[in-house]
Amino acid sequence: MPKRKRVSQVEKWIKQGRGSGIGTEYKPWLQIQDVSSLGRSTRLKGIKTSRQHEFLSDLERNYFYLTEYSDFVVEIREQFPLLPFEETIIIADELGIKHPTDPKTGESIVMTTDFY
């Protein structure tokens, strides 16, 4: 009997639609339950987007308040993935910087930006 192929976390999250969508349909790449932390995390419903936003720190939450009430901001996407992550690996190599890896598996992880 053939072994089942293990689906990577990245492939699984892409299939779930994480890091994609616009407005109310956007799904953040990282969600609060995905990250273990001793800090504070917050979920807030946005007025502009009419969806729940995921913030991993007080600083992210406070910046969200600025964007939420700015007339210049029309869309807010948090925990936005920098995909394809193979490109961030190449950039890190060119700069001589170690690309982030999962401490358990040693595999490269998808980098995210707090806001897009």
Given a cut of 50, whether residue 1 has pLDDT beyond it is no
Share of the chain above pLDDT 90, in %: 71
Q: Distance of CA 52 to CAs 30, 45, 55, 79, 95, Å?
A: 13, 4, 10, 13, 36
| Domain boundaries 9-115, corresponding CATH code | 3.40.1350.10
**Which residue is it, tokens 């994480």?**
18
Residues in contact with 86: Cβ distance below 8 Å, sequence separation at least 6, in sequence order: none
Instruction: Supply the pTM of this predicted model.
Output: 0.83
Least confident of 6-10, 42-46, 55-59, 108-112: 6-10
Domain positions in the chain are 9-115
Residue type, 20: S
Q: Is the pLDDT of residue 102 over 90?
A: no
Average pLDDT, the chain: 89
pLDDT at 89 over 90: yes
Question: Which one-letter amino acid corresponds to residue 36?
Answer: S
Q: 3-state class of 54 per DSSP?
A: strand
